[in-house]
Amino acid sequence: MDMEKEKIRRKVKSIKSLPTLPAVAMKVSKMAENDKTSANQLGKIISTDQAISGRLLRLVNSSFYGFPGRISSISSAIVLLGFDVVKSLIISVSVFEMMEKGIIGLWEHSLGCAIASRIIAKRIKDCDPEELSVAGLLHDIGKIVVSIQLTENYEDIKKLIKEKKIIFYEAEKEVLKFTHEDIGGWLAESWNLPVSLQEPVLCHHQPTKAQSAKLQTSVVHLANFLVRSVGFGSGGDPWVPKLNRKAWDLLGLSFQDLEEIIRELGDELESVEANTLCESAD
Ligand SMILES: [Fe+2]
Ligand SMILES: [Fe+2]
């Protein structure tokens, strides 16, 4: 591990009370790694936590997914979406409350990014749209830590965003010397998420740094750009981040694809109404 990474790790670790996963998510993490675990067994464990399983079912049955009202049990959600996706959704619903306490609009931004990532991934070979949608959902998870645990620095970051008209990420670099990417990447690693989910979280602002999940990282990078461009939710600053040319080229999309993606995104965001968002949260 290089010195820089070690330094950031120590800094992030020194932040008091990083979001810890609920006990059920920890158990699910362990069980999902075992090939012999069945969807039924995993479903039973998740169902022991009523609050989490309730939120999870509401999310998968909301218009966020294409099968509203059709998934009646956690084990059928697992069969439909896979272990990793369900595990990551549990993380997402667990941290949702924290999200709203931190940056207003971050949940909507994250949900928008999840939807955009899924739409883009459907057009990219070797990308799993459901996995990409959770990568989009989790990509800014580090911002929760910055806004809730590093409150003094967060005030400085907000000031800098206004004064210098820079994006959140740039302001973090000046104030903290590390960013929500580093924090999110570290969290994703400590929660044992697959690399295909870790790298989009760790590198979504600098997609060329991704090593083994270049495509997935570029998808989330483009999704983040599009959701900010259409102004859905908030990432904590009023600016649209730059689109990385190499990431765009790597995806191999045409401008016609882009037009269709934007149209589809607009339709889907419209159907994710405010009440759906609230319902999936309580
Ligand atoms: Fe970000
Ligand atoms: Fe973002």
Per-residue model confidence as pLDDT tens digits over 73-109: 888 888 888 887 888 888 777 776 566 677 888 888 9
CB 19 within 8 A of CB 187: yes
Q: Distance, CA 204 to ligand 1 centroid (Å)?
A: 6
Does pLDDT of 278 surpass 60?
A: no
Q: Distance, CA 75 to ligand 2 centroid (Å)?
A: 30
Q: Which residues surround ligand 2, an ion (CB under 5 A)?
A: 140, 224, 235
CA 74 to mean position of chain CA atoms: 21
* Phi (first) and psi of residue 259, to 5 degrees: -60, -45
Residues 265-277 have a mean pLDDT of: 72
Q: CA quadruple 168, 174, 175, 179: dihedral positive or negative?
A: positive
Per-residue model confidence as pLDDT tens digits over 99-116: 667 788 888 899 899 999
Q: Where is pLDDT greater, at 25 or 42? A: 42
Q: Cα dihedral angle (80, 84, 85, 89), rounded to 10 degrees?
A: 130
The domain at 3-19+98-279 falls in which architecture? Orthogonal Bundle (1.10)
pLDDT of amino acid 160: 97
Q: Distance, CA 92 to ligand 2 centroid (Å)?
A: 14
Q: Distance, CA 2 to ligand 2 centroid (Å)?
A: 26
For 252, residues 6+ apart whose C-beta sits below 8 A from its C-beta are 124
Per-residue model confidence as pLDDT tens digits over 206-249: 999 999 999 999 999 999 999 999 999 988 999 999 999 999 99
For 149, residues 6+ apart whose C-beta sits below 8 A from its C-beta are 15, 16, 17, 18
Length of the chain: 282
For 190, residues 6+ apart whose C-beta sits below 8 A from its C-beta are none
Which single residue is written with the structure tokens 């509203």?
68
Element (H, E) at 260: helix 255-271
Q: pTM of the full predicted structure? A: 0.84
Task: Please report which ligand is nearest the Cα atom of 227.
Answer: 2
Q: Distance, CA 39 to ligand 2 centroid (Å)?
A: 32
Q: Distance, CA 13 to ligand 2 centroid (Å)?
A: 22
Tokens of 48: 């022991």
Q: Distance, CA 168 to ligand 1 centroid (Å)?
A: 8
Q: Distance, CA 219 to ligand 2 centroid (Å)?
A: 12
**Domain range list for the chain:** 3-19+98-279
Q: Distance, CA 280 to ligand 1 centroid (Å)?
A: 23
For 92, residues 6+ apart whose C-beta sits below 8 A from its C-beta are 59, 110, 134, 137, 138
Q: Distance, CA 191 to ligand 1 centroid (Å)?
A: 19
Q: Distance, CA 235 to ligand 2 centroid (Å)?
A: 5
Task: Please report which ligand is nearest the Cα atom of 235.
Answer: 2
Strands (E), 6-48: none
What are the Cα distances from residue 178, in Å, to 6, 76, 189, 270? 12, 40, 17, 35
Residues 248-255 have a mean pLDDT of: 97
CA angle 138, 142, 146 (to 5 degrees): 145
For 126, residues 6+ apart whose C-beta sits below 8 A from its C-beta are 215
Task: Please report which ligand is nearest the Cα atom of 168.
Answer: 1
CA 70 to mean position of chain CA atoms: 24
Across all residues in the chain, what is the average pLDDT? 85
Q: What is the DSSP letter of 238?
A: S
In the structure, what pLDDT confidence band is assigned to residue 159 with cuts at 50, 70 and 90? very high
pLDDT of amino acid 188: 86
